[in-house]
């Protein structure tokens, strides 16, 4: 399937988690992918001190993100806007939206993916990026630019999060508390408009996450739960809004006609 898609996220690894499996499913199609990352993740963790210093972490994480996409077998146009990690919410919203709009108008995607109001984990960078990207999407539509048919918010099904918590409890582990900072939170199942079964590329997504070496991804999560976490990617259909009773889509491009 041919498709132009742009993903607007806050940090390196947000893209791998949010859409890595979905886009790895499109290797046999003609995919035109633009990935816009607001920061370089320079305030993130350094899981292994031999990999980076506080001064070099941003550049290292940019390289990790490129490596993750290579592992997925996808070649995006990667744009790092290098806003301060942890400080995106302090950037004037109109400036952030304008930067996203400029990049999106160059890419002319059919589909735009970003964060919803929940930011998946409530991270203020995520929330600010999602709000500004949404504003930029609608501004692009209002301008009459080609594309911009669908806006998706990456999200977690509340039912899947509860299932994961049940599995954690069964192992005697603490469940995920969505009220805690930077912890994932689910959205009501009925708000989800796209669910992609990524189980066939699960191992590739796992290897891509491992390219984010400085972050120690999935460290502390039992190995047997990784497929449960990585095998599905879900999205809220933010525009056009999904009408009640409409079927859940199985791909971001499903139902879009034309090139």
Which mean pLDDT values do the consecutive 10-residue runs of the chain (259 residues) have?
87 97 84 96 96 98 98 96 98 98 98 97 97 98 96 93 85 82 87 95 94 88 81 96 89 85
CATH number for the 3-239 domain, one of 3.40.50.2000, 3.40.50.300, 3.20.20.70, 3.40.50.10320?
3.40.50.10320
Per the CB < 8 A criterion, the answer to whether 212 and 24 are in contact is no
Q: Residue 38 carries which DSSP code? A: S
What strands, in cross-sheet order, belong to the sheet with 192-197? 77-80, 31-37, 3-9, 111-115, 150-155, 232-239, 192-197
Overall residue count recorded for the chain in this entry: 259
Q: Hey, what are 109's tokens?
A: 């995607």
Interatomic CA distance for residues 133 and 46, integer angstroms:
28
Question: What's residue 29's pLDDT?
Answer: 67
Distances in whole angstroms, Cα of residue 156 to Cα of each of 40, 66, 190, 214:
24, 25, 12, 24
Question: What's residue 151's pLDDT?
Answer: 98
Based on C-alpha coordinates, what's the Rg of the chain?
17
Bridge partners (DSSP) of residue 235 are: 154, 194
Backbone angles phi, psi at 153, to 5 degrees: -110, 125
Interatomic CA distance for residues 11 and 28, integer angstroms:
27
Interatomic CA distance for residues 148 and 34, integer angstroms:
13
Question: What's residue 16's pLDDT?
Answer: 97
Annotated domain spans of the chain: 3-239
**Nearest CA among 8, 20, 10 for reference residue 210:** 20
**Nearest CA among 45, 111, 64 for reference residue 211:** 64
The answer for residues whose C-beta is within 8 angstroms of residue 101's C-beta and 6 or more apart is: 136, 139, 140
Interatomic CA distance for residues 232 and 227, integer angstroms:
8
Helix (H, G, I), strand (E, B) or coil at 223: helix
């Amino acid at each position: 399937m041919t498709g132009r898609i742009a993903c607007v996220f806050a940090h390196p690894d947000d893209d791998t988690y949010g859409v890595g499996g979905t886009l790895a499913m499109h290797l046999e199609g003609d995919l035109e992918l633009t990935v816009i990352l607001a920061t370089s993740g320079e305030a993130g963790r350094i899981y292994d001190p031999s990999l980076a210093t506080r001064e070099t972490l941003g550049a290292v994480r940019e390289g990790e993100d490129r490596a993750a996409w290579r592992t997925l077998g996808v070649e995006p146009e990667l744009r790092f806007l290098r806003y301060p990690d942890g400080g995106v919410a302090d950037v004037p919203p109109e400036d952030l939206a304008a930067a996203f709009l400029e990049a999106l108008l160059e890419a002319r995607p059919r589909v735009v993916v970003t964060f919803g109001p929940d930011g998946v984990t409530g991270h203020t960078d995520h929330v600010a990026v999602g709000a500004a990207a949404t504003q930029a999407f609608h501004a692009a539509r209002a301008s009459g630019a080609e594309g911009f048919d669908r806006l998706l918010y990456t999200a977690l099904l509340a039912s899947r999060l509860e299932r994961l918590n049940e599995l954690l409890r069964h192992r005697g582990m603490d469940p995920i508390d969505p009220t805690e900072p930077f912890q994932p939170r689910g959205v009501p199942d009925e708000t989800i408009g796209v669910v992609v079964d990524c189980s066939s590329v699960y191992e590739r997504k796992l290897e891509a996450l491992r390219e984010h070496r400085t972050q120690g991804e999935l460290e502390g999560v039992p190995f047997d739960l990784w497929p449960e976490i990585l095998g599905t990617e879900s999205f809220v259909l933010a525009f056009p809004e999904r009408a009640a009773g409409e079927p859940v889509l199985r791909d971001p491009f499903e139902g879009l006609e034309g090139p």
